Structure 1
Amino acid sequence: AVDDGFGSDFDQDGVTEPGGDCDDTDAAIHPGAPEVPDAADQDCDDRDPAVHPAAPEVCNGVDDDCDGQVDDEDDEVVGAPTWYLDSDGDGHGHGGLDVISACEAPRGYVESSDDCDDEDPDFHPGAVEDDCTDPNDYDCDGLVAFADDDQDGVAACEDCDDQAPGVYPGATEVCNGIDDDCDGAVDAADLGVVGAQTYHPDSDGDGYGDPAVGAVACQPPQGYVSDASDCDDQDASLNPETQWYIDFDGDGWGADSSFTQAAC
């Protein structure tokens, strides 16, 4: 026994009570004794005051509560982070029912829950949106690069007038003074225009056009008419309305009572 002159060593552990033995009835308890988790005056790591049987188990790789289970092995672990299922493997999970609290991320789980489409890896915060014709919100921010103010189905970046629903590439060009199909040609300047017609020059001003010459236009050009029945566009007296008289005697003069109207 170790006796410092002031007491005895009842448990025969070599240390007297006045000499530092905190329990002189138990030989296993004294300064320098190995610590074991026996729920007595000891813990599993007497070098760390945070480790003892009554300590909460936290995520730190240590058996904090001395129950032989570390971190996720212990059902009573506290402070474990929440992990979310990442079905499409893009590094972003969704905030549905597939949620797990654990010290370490389970396979297929991540710590973010901000994916707006966890079935498609193209959709996640930070995704690039560089196609102005694509209406999808790839980066999950509620905004898209695509715009179509007039709701004609054509993106603003490809529409020559996104405020006019009837104007877009592929629209029918009609006679309205507008470049309906966005090809740079307006009305009759566009070979595909609908509603234009052929007009003919009326050089003699008799209202009848020359059938040998025509111009396609939405409106008649100056000096043109829609008619194409003039037999001599240089002589206003000769046209389908010219009155002809029968010259019975061949003297170049017809009888008033014998006139007829005929095409020239």
Structure 2
Amino acid sequence: MTQVGQPLNYQLASALTATSGDCDDSDANVNPAATEICGNGKDDDCSGGDELCPVTWYKDADGDSYSDGTTLTQVQQPLGYARTTALSATSGDCNDAEANVNPGASEVCGNGVDDDCAGGDEACGGAASTWYKDADADGCSDGTTIAQVDRPTDYYLASELLTTTGDCNDSVSSIHPLALEVCGDGIDQDCDGSDLACIPVLVWSIFADDGTFLGFINDNPFDPDSVCNAFGTYGNKFSSLSIWNQFGQYGSNFSALSAFNDFAFSPPVIFENGVPIYFLTTNTIKSPRIDTNVLLGVLNANGCNVSR
């Protein structure tokens, strides 16, 4: 409008940001410089229409209305994607390239396909079995079980195992109830509740008198031709021969003898409790001295075969 006086609702060009382009001159928030607000039904920036808001689209490549959970957020619909409202589920499709495989499908037994995305194919006509966990595959289970038709990972039937319970460490194959225990290593290999204490090597001896070697053994069982292991109770019955036995405590199952008649045993002589072991010693320190012939007679009379 061109006139001398300023008309109502009119401005000079110098007072305006733009002299044209306002698509709604009745709304001060609508003009070419305004920020467009998507989805409000207004053309806020006078660009020709309301701007569409970005949408979260869910992948459904096979078009079975089940998504595998993959998403894209944008205005336009990507190929192979759908809105939430068009889907039966937005996740869980275990094969998005096969329309017959989805959480809503019926499982077909024995076809090798997990049709309903339940975790595996269903065996046909099979009854549930009890499966025992053996994660370290050592043939022994810790007793954990699952009852189902199909074999779970790391599980076995009872007939496939050596034991169905008792494995105290199912992550280490050398530890199970049938394992050989290694003493003193701090590990309970055979799962009996504790490590086995190491027992010193058994050494059974008959000592010499005046250089006469009467015999010894360092293994088990005993050699009757070397050491007389006759049973009976002996003390100082013979003045020239001392025969001694003792059951002192050593650990939980063993006894030890560290000295006798002032003769020190190093290491101590160790023997199992309840086993009568007779230590035949010459009396080289205390009198009377041993009569070798008497000693030989006692040994041989008790089943030994000892000669000078």
Query: Under TM normalisation by the shorter chain, which class is it?
Result: 0.3 to 0.5
Larger Rg: 1
Q: Which has the higher contact order (CA 8 A, sep 6+)?
A: 2
Q: Which has the higher strand share?
A: 2
TM-score under structure 2 length normalisation: 0.30
